[in-house]
Amino acid sequence: MLNLVWPIFIIISFSYAIFSGNLQNLNSSIFDSVESAVNLSITMLGTMCLWSGIIHVATNTNIMKIMNRLLKPIIRFLFPEIKENIKAQNEISMNMIANILGLGNAATPLGLKAMETLQKENKNKQELSNSMIMLIVINTASIQIIPTTIIAIRSSLGAQNPTSIIVPVWIATICAAIVGITVTKLLIRYSNKREKI
Amino acid sequence: MINFINFLSNLAMPLIILLIVIYGVIEKKEVFDKFIEGAKDGIKIVINIFPTLIGLFLAVGTLRSSGVIDIAIKLIEPLLNIVHFPTEIMPLALLRPISGSSSIAVATDIMKTFGVDSQIGIMAAVIMGATETTLYTIAVYSSSVKIKKTRFVLIAALTADLVGIITSIIVCRFLS
């Protein structure tokens, strides 16, 4: 993907700047850009290490088990078709917990494992099953208690109060998730009806 | 109301850290050792993303300074004005579903250009936090089980994204 987009960006912006005689701006922005990437990474190093450390403490306690138990009714509501499949339920639960805690790197492998388990139950192996679609929609909804990356960006740019966006992010995420889940449920019902006819 | 939202935002991170540390102590875990182990993973995450960030910050920064972004915005501006969509946010809304690291670059660029504490800057931050790289996620999850027919997943996920973006804009307008 980026192998296509990146050269396009570079070619368009560099050639436009050169032809419009904007060379001085172009040069200074080249060095500005790499410098702000360094600044962001240094600030991010602090935030990421702090958060990864704290979450690692949490994963070594029973907090995960408690969260797992709390999520079970929600999972049963979202995935009515896998009521008997405890393995799939547990994998989906672990994937959701990793997302909530902001462990993007751990969430994806867990989610893919759940996809594999769901594929075994899938009647048509060429098509996503209803449960798979729900799993993907939940993963694209980005439900996260602390949006660490964005806090790091804000603090690297010297925001007065880098964490002030947390509640607005929660509100927007919850609205997006509710709509995503509702739309998915409605479309599942619609496609089930069509199959019966 | 606004004060309460600010208070809750500021409370969230310290409270979670406090709870986790207390919980670790109650369960008699070596809290500090575990913290250090985890913090090492944080270094890996940042080092892995660093080269990508350099490349994408360069691309987005020069798109901005050369004036290409302004031209693109001018082209779609009349359309966005009809629905009262802030034009400055458009590059982020377009890139966000496709690529995580390029949207970090675009969001940072917007926050820098318009001010990190300006309304536009805060909108960019909230949109970043509230949405995901939808197209990428769908591609990875579907291809992992070798499925090509994705049915209505794209419609459902993109609707959720759109709602996330619109809600972010409304919440930020309400707050400032």
In degrees to the nearest 10, what's the CA dihedral of A160, B96, A99, B17? -10
Report the number of distinct structural domains present in chain A. 1
Place of tokens 């995901």: B132
pLDDT at A12 over 80: yes
Q: Does B171 touch chain A (CB under 8 A)?
A: yes
C-alpha to C-alpha distance for A149 and A156, rounded to whole angstroms: 11
C-alpha to C-alpha distance for B167 and B150, rounded to whole angstroms: 27
Residue among A6, A142, A157 minimizing CB distance to B130: A142
The two three-digit tokens of residue A114, written as one number: 């759940």
Place of tokens 């190093």: A45
Q: Does B2 touch chain A (CB under 8 A)?
A: no
Residue B24's contacts (CB-CB under 8 Å, 6 or more residues apart) are: A57, A58, A60, A61, B31, B34
Best CA proximity match to B30, nearest among A27, A53, A117: A53
Residue among B8, B66, B122 minimizing CB distance to A17: B66
* Closest-approach residue (CA) in chain B for A109: B141
User: In chain B, which residues have their Cβ closer than 8 Å to the Cβ of A95?
Assistant: none
Band the pLDDT of A143: cuts 50, 70, 90. confident
C-alpha to C-alpha distance for A108 and A114, rounded to whole angstroms: 10
Q: Does B141 touch chain A (CB under 8 A)?
A: yes
Q: Does B53 touch chain A (CB under 8 A)?
A: yes
pLDDT digits (tens, 9 = 90+) for A71-130: 999 999 999 999 889 999 999 999 999 999 888 778 999 999 999 999 999 999 999 999
C-alpha to C-alpha distance for A123 and A129, rounded to whole angstroms: 8
Question: What is the value of ipTM here, to two decimals?
Answer: 0.91
The DSSP-derived string for A126-187 is TB--HHHHHHHHHHHT---SS-HHHHHHHHHTT-S-GGGGHHHHHHHHHHHHHHHHHHHHHH
The two three-digit tokens of residue B43, written as one number: 């270094």
Do residues A61 and B29 make contact, with C-beta atoms less than 8 angstroms apart?
yes
Band the pLDDT of B2: cuts 50, 70, 90. confident
pLDDT of residue A141: 87
* Closest-approach residue (CA) in chain A for B63: A13
User: In chain B, which residues have their Cβ closer than 8 Å to the Cβ of A58?
Assistant: 20, 23-24
Coil, strand or helix at B149? strand
CB contact under 8 A, A29 and B65: yes
Within-domain flag for A3: no
Q: Does B25 touch chain A (CB under 8 A)?
A: no
Within-domain flag for A109: yes
C-alpha dihedral sign at A181, A182, A185, A190? negative
Using alpha carbons, list the distances in angstroms from residue A104 to A81, A96, A99, A147, A149: 26, 10, 6, 11, 11
pLDDT of residue A39: 93
How close B45 comes to chain A (CA, Å)? 8
Half-sphere exposure of A176 (CA within 13 A, CB side): 36
Domain positions in chain B are: 51-175
pLDDT of residue A169: 96
pLDDT of residue B162: 94
Residue among B105, B128, B141 minimizing CB distance to A112: B141
Structural domain including A169 reads 26-196
pLDDT digits (tens, 9 = 90+) for B53-109: 999 999 999 999 999 999 988 998 898 888 889 999 999 998 899 888 899 999 999
Side chain identity at residue A77, one-letter code? F
CB contact under 8 A, B59 and A6: yes
pLDDT of residue A187: 96
Q: Does B24 touch chain A (CB under 8 A)?
A: yes
- Please list, residue by residue across B53-82, b when 16 or more beta carbons sit within 10 angstroms of its beta carbon and e when fewer do: bbbbbbbbbbbbbbebbeebeeeeeeebee
CB contact under 8 A, A10 and B62: yes
Band the pLDDT of A5: cuts 50, 70, 90. confident
pLDDT of residue B163: 95
Q: Work out the average pLDDT over B6-33.
A: 94
Place of tokens 């979670």: B16
User: In chain A, which residues have their Cβ closer than 8 Å to the Cβ of B163?
Assistant: 175-176, 179-180
Helix axes B119-130, A148-156, angle to 10 degrees: 150
Q: What is the mean pLDDT of chain B?
A: 93
Tell which phi-psi region holds residue B132, choosing left (phi > 0), alpha (psi between -120 and 50) or beta: beta
